[in-house]
Structure 1
Amino acid sequence: MLVYAIAAILAVFVYLKFIRRSPEDYEILSKYYGDRCWTKEDEIVDTSIRPFKIDVSDSEIEDLNERLDNVRFPSPSLEDTKFTYGVNQEFMKKFVDYWRNSYSWREQEKYLNKYPHFKTRIEGLDIHFVHFKPKTMSTLNQPRPLMLLHGWPGSFLEFFKMIPMLTDPTSHGGNETDLFEVIIPSIPGYGFSQASEVQGLGSLNCARIFHKLMLRLDHKKYYVQGGDWGSVIGSNMAMLYPSAVKGYHFNMINGGRNPLTVVKMLIASFAPNLFFDKEDVKANFPVKNLFIKLWKEFGYLHLQATKPDTVGFALSDSPVGLAAYIVEKFAVWTDPDSVDNDDGNIPKHWTYDELLNNIMIYWLSGNVTSSLRFYKETFSDLMITRDIKVRVPAGFAAFPSEVFHGMKCDIEYKCTRLLSYTRMREGGHFAAFQVPHVLTEDFRQFVRQIERVDLREKMDESEFAQDYKQTQLDRFETS
């Protein structure tokens, strides 16, 4: 007990002495407002938006098939280890067999080209994005611009199931007013977006690039939704361009804990129910479980944030190695019980085609190494933005199987205008991909809240204007 008391006192001291400060946001972020060129040669000025189609050559598919035919599997998995040592070899053999003999890239290529793709050059890089604008006959119901942001090891594909829900809402459980124009960019160095050739392109610089993309599409105001790195990039867009981001919705905690929460967690170690609700208690106590999870599940993060290029050689050369690395994350980050099953509970949540489509985007683009580098480039950004608040309207969706539980007190600490905090009944880290209907509905409700607030403010302004006008008339008549 004495140890916890001392720790609590130290935590309060650290908070008061070092953490609590009011930095000048503008001074900190100002160096991220300008322009950069991320290629070694001078930037070619080209603001055109070019149609793009995924069109993989036969030779690339033949090379992949040859590698799958000649795969060298590692030593057999140990008896009864299931997914506790990583991906089970028996599962991977079945997965690779399906990949080689049943999966049809040409069929899936048509699916991936289902929605319009484009590329445009921003800061020297060809930025890929999916852009779908719904048709509307009403001038009163124009679609709202919405940028959807993916993370690692995901891709633009994560949001494909949400597109019809957002662009044709009346056919997918929404109202005719729930209409959005959808823009889904690939992070630079991910998928079909060109990778930087110089150091420094992390989440803050990416936020500027994506804001420029929205301006190029003639959107001065827009909404942002994201998970994983998408939540971080979206947060940065809201901090850098608060007058442009009408609302920021996210489903992964992306800031540090409220220092007072840390103090409360230390004090509450013996009686957590006195300070936190049952969902927070289940996710965070006993506190030692958080450290155990860090130890078990976040080795990849340390590797990618320090030496990404080393593992990049292996993942760029072996399609099966790449698949195992990504599949393991889709297992554990979707279902915490996956490690206790021989198949990682993969068939329960995903089809093989869904996983392989995402893996193929990494393999065929050759961008896996640059996607890993984003961790190294972004960690310094996270320290810069740690104390800067998100002041635009924000909404958070807390999914029960997310890697880390985002407590409301911590989300409120980062977002000063948190309009919604929703505890979801199902879903994990890849929510847009796994439970698109659930995420879409929460996002719709969030936007409706913003628009209700906007409407009230306009009414208040109108009432003020009328009162002011009447006051002036009264003064005129009196004079």
Structure 2
Amino acid sequence: MWLEILLSLVLGLVIYWFVSRDKEETLPFEDGWWGPGPRPPTEDESIRPFKVETSDEEIEDLHQRLRKARLTPPLEDSRFHYGFNSNYLKKVLSYWQNEFNWRKQVEVLNRYPHFKTKIEGLDIHFIHVKPPQLPSGCTPKPLLMVHGWPGSFYEFYKIIPLLTDPKNHGLGDKHVFEVICPSIPGYGFSEAASKKGLNSVAVARIFYKLMLRLGFQEFYTQGGDWGSLICTNMAQLAPSHVKGLHVNMAFVLRNFYTLTLFLGARLQKFFGYTERDVELMFPLKEKMLYSLVRESGYLHIQSTKPDTVGCALNDSPAGLAAYLLEKFSTWTNTEFRDREDGGLLGKFSLDDLLTIVMIYWTTGTITSSQRFYKENMGGGFLSDKHHRMKVYVPTGFAAFPCEILHAPEKWVRVKYPKLISYSYMARGGHFAAFEEPELLAQDLCKFVGLVERQ
């Protein structure tokens, strides 16, 4: 009898192993039409140069609205604990109206070549930056970099020179990149969808088509925030085309290891967590639970009824600035909420911050950008197929210490079995390319080197 039981157990384990073992699935490559009206018989696939422009009327309208801003006085000693402190907002609005030079920033934006092309009914905006010079015998590596919310393609302006001209920026010339930074549809200069359902998988497919249209059959991808999910989806859609995936944020909450957090800090080493993991995750209530609750109110609003708050933000530049820049405070470092100025100028300049706000303001895309949350989370949090699927392309992960939630290597490896590089970054938070371009560039180059040595 015992022999029969043992054989049954062994047989059961073998069957379980065959059923549950990893399968290198790919997402089905579907198609879509997101433009207004029905799909036409043909679509213009030309790539057109584009320039950012402004006008006296646009600037005057902005200044009129700023002059009429109505602010509520903050509570005494509230700093940024109640959101964006209106006393500091007065200083931001004064600078915006009296010192910020939008025409000059438009010239900065046009420093790199901009283009547009129609894909699945939408005018997709992107910048395409080639190396100014190449070492003899060197071929640049195509790299797609994707932003998130509340960012834009402008987040990458400081890291682009490090990647396209690394030798002149102290990074050597072993890895030289050709960088493509698109705007997510409905963000900035990319056209917003006219139909429901444009989620991260659809955007991944659109950006994959963009890379093929540019002539790249193999390429690297990099992203944080929504960009990390879009790049992950690209690897799930077309793994043979994505040579390597580098992310600084990962959607890995569907994971057995997350349950081990509740066993306490003392047992974490038993489950393979490092001392640095424990430092970044504990005490659990403060660093994971309370922090998530504090910083996720926007997510619930935008995942359910984005158009309601969008009406207010699209009508008030002061409100838009407060709503967006608050994220550049506490998502850079949660401790910045203890400062009167939100710590905004610790990592950024007002010119850079207001340029991002102006991209949203002048294009009127705050509402369409927020709809991306509804399309991805409105039907059920982490319920889509791609969240259950693993990623089978070489992957690198940069763990910045001030990211909203820390993702230990154990968690990341479950989702990305081919994780070949996991780095604890020395400093930095959510907006990695914008905050710490040199650190991110170094880690990206390290990762690409590992991929090419395989």
* Both structures adopt the same fold (TM-score exceeding 0.5): yes
Structure 1 partner of 2:340: 342
Q: Secondary structure at 1:317's aligned position in 2?
A: coil
Aligned positions of 1:90-129 closer than 5 A: 90-129=87-126
Report how far residue 102 of structure 1 moved.
0.4
Aligned positions of 1:45-444 closer than 5 A: 45-74=43-72, 76-136=73-133, 140-259=137-256, 261-268=257-264, 271-275=267-271, 276-289=273-286, 290-379=288-377, 380=379, 382-383=382-383, 384-444=385-445
Write the distance in 1 (CA, Å) between the matches of 2:346 and 2:116: 35
Farther off after superposition, 126-135 or 379-388: 379-388
Matched residue type, 2:216: H
Root-mean-square deviation (Å): 1.8
Q: 1:137 to 1:166 in 2, by over 3 A?
A: closer
Write the distance in 2 (CA, Å) between the matches of 1:167 and 1:349: 23
Q: 1:377 to 1:409 in 2, by over 3 A?
A: same
Task: Show CA shifts across 1:352-382 (max 9, x none).
Answer: 1010000000000111100000011112594
Write the distance in 1 (CA, Å) between the matches of 2:342 and 2:349: 13
Farther off after superposition, 37-46 or 215-224: 37-46
Q: Secondary structure at 1:152's aligned position in 2?
A: coil
Matched residue type, 1:58: D
Q: 1:270 to 1:181 in 2, by over 3 A?
A: closer
Q: Secondary structure at 2:314's aligned position in 1?
A: helix
Decide whether the 8 Å contact of 2:166 with 2:173 is kept in 1.
yes
Give the share of equivalent positions with the same residue, in percent. 49
Q: Secondary structure at 1:107's aligned position in 2?
A: helix
Report how far residue 272 of structure 1 moved.
3.8
Structure 1 partner of 2:3: none
Farther off after superposition, 332-341 or 40-49: 40-49
Matched residue type, 1:433: F
Decide whether the 8 Å contact of 2:24 with 2:392 is kept in 1.
no
Decide whether the 8 Å contact of 1:23 with 1:387 is kept in 2.
no
Write the distance in 2 (CA, Å) between the matches of 1:60 and 1:375: 29
Please list every run of 5 or more consecutive structure 1 residues that lacks an aligned counterpart in the other structure.
Answer: 1-16, 454-479
Report how far residue 346 of structure 1 moved.
1.1
Report how far residue 70 of structure 1 moved.
1.1
Decide whether the 8 Å contact of 1:253 with 1:405 is kept in 2.
no
Structure 2 partner of 1:38: 34
Decide whether the 8 Å contact of 2:254 with 2:387 is kept in 1.
no
Write the distance in 2 (CA, Å) between the matches of 1:444 and 1:71: 46
Q: 1:373 to 1:176 in 2, by over 3 A?
A: same
Matched residue type, 2:341: D
Decide whether the 8 Å contact of 1:272 with 1:285 is kept in 2.
no
Matched residue type, 1:431: A
Write the distance in 1 (CA, Å) between the matches of 2:53 and 2:153: 16
Write the distance in 2 (CA, Å) between the matches of 1:370 and 1:21: 40
Report how far residue 142 of structure 1 moved.
0.9
Task: Show CA shifts across 1:143-193 (max 9, x none).
Answer: 011000000000000000111111111101222221111100000000100
Q: Secondary structure at 2:179's aligned position in 1?
A: strand
Farther off after superposition, 316-325 or 286-295: 286-295
Report how far residue 319 of structure 1 moved.
0.3
Q: 1:365 to 1:22 in 2, by over 3 A?
A: farther
Decide whether the 8 Å contact of 2:292 with 2:404 is kept in 1.
no
Farther off after superposition, 264-273 or 97-106: 264-273
Decide whether the 8 Å contact of 2:125 with 2:190 is kept in 1.
yes
Report how far residue 25 of structure 1 moved.
6.6
Please list every run of 5 or more consecutive structure 2 residues that lacks an aligned counterpart in the other structure.
Answer: 1-15
> Where do 4+ consecutive residues of structure 1 move more than 3 Å?
20-26, 135-139, 268-275
Q: Secondary structure at 1:121's aligned position in 2?
A: strand
Matched residue type, 1:191: G
Structure 1 partner of 2:11: none
Decide whether the 8 Å contact of 1:165 with 1:437 is kept in 2.
yes
Decide whether the 8 Å contact of 2:254 with 2:388 is kept in 1.
no
Matched residue type, 1:278: E
Decide whether the 8 Å contact of 2:324 with 2:357 is kept in 1.
yes
Report how far residue 40 of structure 1 moved.
2.7
Report how far residue 255 of structure 1 moved.
2.3
After TM superposition, the score normalised by the length of structure 1 is 0.87
Report how far residue 61 of structure 1 moved.
1.1
Write the distance in 1 (CA, Å) between the matches of 2:134 and 2:422: 34
Task: Show CA shifts across 1:295-328 (max 9, x none).
Answer: 2110100110111111100110000000000111
After TM superposition, the score normalised by the length of structure 2 is 0.91
Q: Secondary structure at 1:296's aligned position in 2?
A: helix
Decide whether the 8 Å contact of 1:309 with 1:373 is kept in 2.
yes
Decide whether the 8 Å contact of 1:253 with 1:404 is kept in 2.
no
Higher helix share: 1
Matched residue type, 1:398: A
Report how far residue 262 of structure 1 moved.
2.9
Decide whether the 8 Å contact of 1:308 with 1:369 is kept in 2.
yes
Matched residue type, 1:126: D
Decide whether the 8 Å contact of 1:136 with 1:142 is kept in 2.
no
Q: 1:80 to 1:46 in 2, by over 3 A?
A: same
Task: Show CA shifts across 1:189-246 (max 9, x none).
Answer: 0010000000000100000000000000000100000000000000000111000000
Decide whether the 8 Å contact of 2:131 with 2:140 is kept in 1.
yes
Q: 1:165 to 1:137 in 2, by over 3 A?
A: closer
Decide whether the 8 Å contact of 1:82 with 1:344 is kept in 2.
yes
Matched residue type, 1:416: P
